[in-house]
């Protein structure tokens, strides 16, 4: 199959999955995030294994337990005290490290394992909170990120000359970054028309934050892939690579969306 056609088909399926999950509410989004957890954990372990070692078992245990407990708490209002159980695998990971010999393989295994846990669990926790409060806001985040990526690619290809971060991503340019920022803000303004009950200033600030945070998320994953010596984080999405290749920007953007929402509510603007 032609690679362009394959990318179009798999990309359309991915977009459809996101839209369907957001339109049908928080439980469907949590199911979507569960898939992200499964494939994302596998991919980040693969990226970090060659960078000084990692403890896959503890990464899996921590991510699965933290995600499961938090999902149950948010969706079914289970007592929050149970969330502390999610820390047990991490505590056990520290204890396990005490019994490992100080070899080169184990030298960075603890910090790489903690990085793998944080990289997946923290964004997904914020995603679950946002989804439980406003499922359509998750879709809005994706729309602004897609607008950012599309305009960044087009403007970068047309006008791009000055490199943004050549060491990690040789194709990214400052012109493309600005173009992506404009695209994200434009998408935010359009969204404000359909959600006029929410202050337009919120959408503009949100779109700006999403564009910047999303770019850093993409650069961070590029750093992990470069250190691992691979082009893609995985191959679960034919023509696009892995889940992290599609969601690296989202994983960095969603915590900032949460904090922006908190700030606007505190200021009684939202």
Q: Which helix (H) or strand (E) holds 227?
A: helix 200-228
Residue 235, pLDDT score: 85
Q: What is the mean pLDDT of residues 239-251?
A: 91
pLDDT in tens, 150-191: 999 999 999 888 999 888 888 899 999 999 999 999 999 999
pLDDT in tens, 36-51: 999 999 999 999 987 7
Whether the CB-CB separation of 239 and 14 falls below 8 Å is answered with no
* Ordered alpha helix ranges (H), 24-160: 26-49, 56-76, 88-98, 104-107, 109-133, 135-159
Tell me the three state secondary structure of residue 162.
coil
Task: Give the mean pLDDT of 53-65.
Answer: 93
If pLDDT is split at 50, 70 and 90, which confidence band does 2 have?
low
Cα–Cα dist 210/206, whole Å: 6
Supply the pLDDT for residue 212.
96
Distance between CA atoms of 60 and 45, rounded to whole angstroms?
A: 9
Strand-strand pairing, 163-165 and 169-173 = antiparallel
Q: In this predicted structure, which of 35-44, 104-113, 228-237 has the lowest mean pLDDT? A: 104-113
Three-class SS of residue 266? helix
Distances in Å between the Cα of 96 and the Cα atoms of 116, 164, 185, 266 are 17, 41, 47, 42
Q: In this predicted structure, what is the pLDDT of residue 1? A: 54
CB neighbour class for 91 (10 Å; exposed up to 12, middle 13-18, buried from 19): exposed
Tell me: pLDDT of 56 over 60. yes
| pLDDT beyond 90 at 129 | yes
More confident residue, 3 or 141: 141
Count of CB atoms within 10 A of residue 167's CB?
10
Domain map of the chain by residue range? Answer: 3-266
Whether pLDDT at 81 is above 90:
no
Contact 92, 86 (CB under 8 A): no
Q: Which of 193, 201, 190, 202 is nearest to 144 (CA)?
A: 190
């Amino acid at each position: 199959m032609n690679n362009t056609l394959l990318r179009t088909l798999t990309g359309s399926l991915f977009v459809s999955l996101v839209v369907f999950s957001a339109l049908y509410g928080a439980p469907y989004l949590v199911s979507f995030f569960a898939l992200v957890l499964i494939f994302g954990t596998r991919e980040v372990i693969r990226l970090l294994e060659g960078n000084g070692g990692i403890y896959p078992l503890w990464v899996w245990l921590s991510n699965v337990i933290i995600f499961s407990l938090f999902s149950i708490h948010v969706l079914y209002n289970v007592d929050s005290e149970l969330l502390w159980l999610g820390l047990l695998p991490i505590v056990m990971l520290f204890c396990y490290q005490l019994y490992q010999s100080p070899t080169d393989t184990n030298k960075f295994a603890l910090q790489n394992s903690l990085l793998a846990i944080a990289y997946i669990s923290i964004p997904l926790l914020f995603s679950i909170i946002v989804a439980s409060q406003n499922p359509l806001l998750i879709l809005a985040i994706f729309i602004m990120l897609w607008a950012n990526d599309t305009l960044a690619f087009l403007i970068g290809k047309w006008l791009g000359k000055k490199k943004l971060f050549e060491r990690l991503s040789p194709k990214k340019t400052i012109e493309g970054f600005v173009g992506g920022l404009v695209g994200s803000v434009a998408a935010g303004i359009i969204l404000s028309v359909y959600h006029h009950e929410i202050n337009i200033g919120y959408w503009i600030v949100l779109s700006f934050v999403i564009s910047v945070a999303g770019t850093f998320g993409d650069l961070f994953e590029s750093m992990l892939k470069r250190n691992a010596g691979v082009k893609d984080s995985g191959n679960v999405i034919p023509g696009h690579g892995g889940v992290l290749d599609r969601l690296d920007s989202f994983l960095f953007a969603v915590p900032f969306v949460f904090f922006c929402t908190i700030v606007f509510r505190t200021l009684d603007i939202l």
